[in-house]
Structure 1
Amino acid sequence: MFMLTETCTAHTDLLANIFVGLGCSTTPNDLVYIIDGSSSLGAADFETAKRWLINITSGFDVSLRHTQVAVVQYSDTPRLEIPLGRHQDTQELLRDIGYISYLGGRTQTGRAIKFASHHVFPSSNPTVKATRNRIAVILTDGRSQDDVVDPAMDAKAQGIALFAVGVGNEITNAELVSMATKPSSTYVLHVEDYTSIGSIREAMEQKLCEESVCPVRIPGTVNGQKGFDLMSLMGIVEVAKKVQGSLVSEAAYLLSPHLDVTRSTREIFPEGLPPSYVFVATLRVKSPAHHMKFDLWRVLSQDRIKQVAVTLNGAEKSVTFTSTSKFINNSSALFLPKRLFDTDWHQLKLLVKPKRITCYLDDTHVEEQLLEPVVSIYINGKTQVAKKVNIETTVVLQKLRLYCDPVQSQREGACEIYSVVRPKGPPGPDGKPVSKTH
């Protein structure tokens, strides 16, 4: 009877994932907030900290299958305010966070981390891949009066991702870095005081989303950036013909008209897409594709409706980004990076955010446009590359990636494009006249 029940439950969860749009709000997380309640805050700042937690948590779907949230408040000793699994409804959880009363006392951050990792998170086997993300967010405004290094190392050894959020000047960056998971650029945040903590709400939400939706780091990137290397995931490097890239040191792959680059979306984006990401393509649109309209990348639902797409139109010399929308069927933005269609090598970069999108060509700003608020994608369809309706088109690809951290847009230059590496210089001086001979 137990095996039958377990199988039916797993089957029900699978069907739910197929027919419900997936994204950050629906991933299976065990999320524990470890919040400083010591005397250095004061009651007013503690209320501000609670409102910050409420704002961040409101975006999660709280349920047994999706996100479970716990709250530990600490000063001299940790106090479990809300255990994992208590709430199956987001609004009830938010209400109870608001009811938490302020402790006061000394700052014993290390003790609180140890308490959370051993008594709040479910015990785990480090040799077995976890089915739920294990995430802790430490919010503190003071230097800890006990050791934080060993408890943090122990928590990370248990597969817990530690975010360290510092408020004010009392907490040092070195202590935040010693607690947080690496790289610190991803897992450490800092603000001047509690009145400005709202300024990092969007950044914290995005980082929690990256931890949930983007578990894989792209090999060869600085600090192992999280995201999706579509050249590898879509099998392009295995099935396409290898050719010379934009530079002698670079390899590229020819997507011929007869090559079908299609994969199940469940394989490529098993938890959906984050609300913000950077789409980067280093490509050469060859003839006759530079006069054609085709989808460089698209995600289709089971009934073949476009959920996300980057469409190149050679006739109009335009790029259109399409996404699902909360208020209309699709939201789109059209850009005119005309040089993309001159049959030479170029880098196309799109910085996608929940309500706006920015286009760059060869690391040069093209335009920023507004987008309608997006909704999560369904993963029961197909993800495709270089498609013209049902016919593949000819394009040479060197890079095709989605980075989950929007800041990667600033880091990702176009060094592989010769015109960027060797820009045209100013005209030289006039040469000496040459006498004609007859």
Structure 2
Amino acid sequence: MAKNIKFLSAVLMLLLHDCVSAEDGDIRSSCRTAPTDLVFILDGSYSVGPENFEIVKRWLVNITSNFDIGPKFIQVGVVQYSDYPVLEIPLGSHDSNENLVRGMEYIQYLGGNTQTGKAIQFALDHLFAKSSRFLTKIAVVLTDGKSQDDVKDVAAEARKNKITLFAIGVGSEIEEDELRAIANKPPSTYVFYVEDYIAISRIREVIKQKLCEESVCPTRIPVASRDEKGFDILLGLGVKKKVKKRIQIPSTNAKAYEITSRIDLSELTSAINITYMCKCLQYFFISPQMLFDEGWHQIRLLVTEADVTLYIDDQETEVKPLHPVLGIYISGVTQIGKYSGKDETVQFDVQKLRIYCDPEQNSRETACELPGFVSMNSMRILGYFKIKFSSGEATCPIKPFFSF
């Protein structure tokens, strides 16, 4: 262990490094720009009423106001339905957010019965089926009453076609079983309910967050008895192939990876599919007494739009503000365990390194895998270090929250 003391100025980092400039045609990727076909299916039946329908339109404008609209980014479609579905906004019909908002403002309330099943089928046939883009496809169904036709079979068909369905119910006439039949599983992620149309503003930010997670976080990590949306960075970097020696964590059944200076944990960012899931972080300077005792420790970062919080062994230790940031260029390289300004790898041991999309995972996270303690993502640090996220010219995505 003494040979590792020389790493007193080591830097442990997850580095997203730009290789190509914007002039070369690279695309910044983030929640605002992630290529997605997003369709809103809006209830326009008599029970909604014209005043409430105007509330829905303002809600819709607010949710989509931060999207980058265009053929390379997000395309939004809108279907209104009552006795029959009406294509209000086709996918790809607007090339800017301003034009999209203007199109939403022109939508006129229909009135009529509630044929939700027909509306979902219409979206499947006339919007998603006509899109030539191979990307994330999401439909948000908003309704305030029981459908007068079947929704179960058509919703199942949509999911079979890789369309993610959210169901939002408004008011006392909603049937929970019907919302569950429409939406993807689990209902806790894809089903929402509010008591009236005024209250839909309360779930606006939650819906934004969920849409973001769905568009930028396609993979899942097994955690306890459920799956969490997120990225296993070590898996993406091919650590099992690159690291020859595994070490046993004392007093546990868990094993860890011994990273040496000869191991290069680097991969193309686009290849490991964590393009959207980072933020540019300022340095955290961690006291040597906190970590460098040759034991195992858990390090967690909770990242929000406003700030980033550092946790060590379940204890909140520091909060730093974040400035507004942009999406990263997807042509970069992802690296961990590098010296600052060098290509040489720092020597350290690591058990897990993950990015979770759900901010609530931070409150569920404990250090349970540490010997005599608890840990989900733990690493043994062998020198004084900083943690840094960077991406060439200070570019990283903005919307989602994560801990790892």
TM-score range for the pair, normalised by the shorter chain length: 0.7 to 0.9
Deviation at 1:168, TM superposition (A): 2.5
Percent identity (aligned): 47
CA distance in structure 2 between the aligned counterparts of 1:350 and 1:358, rounded to whole angstroms:
6
Select which of 264, 267, 272 maps to 1:263: 267
Q: Secondary structure at the match of 2:57?
A: helix
Matches within 5 A, 1:279-290: none
TM score, norm. by length of structure 1: 0.74
Select which of 46, 62, 73 maps to 2:69: 62
Report the counterpart of residue 272 of structure 1 in structure 2: 276
Q: Secondary structure at the match of 2:221?
A: coil
Are the structure 2 counterparts of residues 369 and 45 from structure 1 closer, same or farther at C-alpha, using a change threshold of 3 Å? farther
Deviation at 1:258, TM superposition (A): 2.6
The amino acid of 2:367's aligned partner reads A
Q: Secondary structure at the match of 2:301?
A: strand
CA distance in structure 2 between the aligned counterparts of 1:349 and 1:270, rounded to whole angstroms:
18
**Structure 1 position 213 matched with structure 2 position 222:** no
Contact 2:117/2:154, CA 8 A, preserved across alignment = yes
Q: Secondary structure at the match of 1:122?
A: helix
**Structure 1 position 149 matched with structure 2 position 152:** yes
Deviation at 1:219, TM superposition (A): 4.3
Count residues in correspondence.
352
Report the counterpart of residue 374 of structure 1 in structure 2: 325
**Structure 1 position 109 matched with structure 2 position 116:** yes
The amino acid of 1:239's aligned partner reads K
Report the counterpart of residue 336 of structure 2 in structure 1: 385
**Structure 1 position 29 matched with structure 2 position 28:** no
Contact 2:282/2:320, CA 8 A, preserved across alignment = no
Contact 1:18/1:379, CA 8 A, preserved across alignment = no
**Structure 1 position 412 matched with structure 2 position 365:** yes
Superposed CA deviations along residues 136-171 of structure 1, whole A, max 9, x for unmatched, are: 011112222222111100111111110112223322
CA distance in structure 2 between the aligned counterparts of 1:30 and 1:421, rounded to whole angstroms:
41
Matches within 5 A, 1:209-248: 209-219=212-222, 222-240=225-243, 241-245=245-249, 247-248=251-252
Matches within 5 A, 1:120-159: 120-123=127-130, 131-159=134-162
Select which of 93, 97, 100 maps to 1:93: 100
Are the structure 2 counterparts of residues 366 and 185 from structure 1 closer, same or farther at C-alpha, using a change threshold of 3 Å? farther
Deviation at 1:379, TM superposition (A): 2.4
TM score, norm. by length of structure 2: 0.80
CA distance in structure 1 between the aligned counterparts of 2:283 and 2:74, rounded to whole angstroms:
35
Higher relative contact order (CA 8 A, sep 6+): 2
Are the structure 2 counterparts of residues 191 and 367 from structure 1 closer, same or farther at C-alpha, using a change threshold of 3 Å? farther
Which runs of 5 or more residues in structure 2 are unaligned?
Answer: 1-20, 376-404
Larger-gyration structure (1/2): 1
Contact 1:183/1:223, CA 8 A, preserved across alignment = no
Contact 1:246/1:416, CA 8 A, preserved across alignment = no
Select which of 186, 195, 200 maps to 2:198: 195
Report the counterpart of residue 47 of structure 1 in structure 2: 54
Contact 2:277/2:355, CA 8 A, preserved across alignment = no
Report the counterpart of residue 295 of structure 2 in structure 1: 344
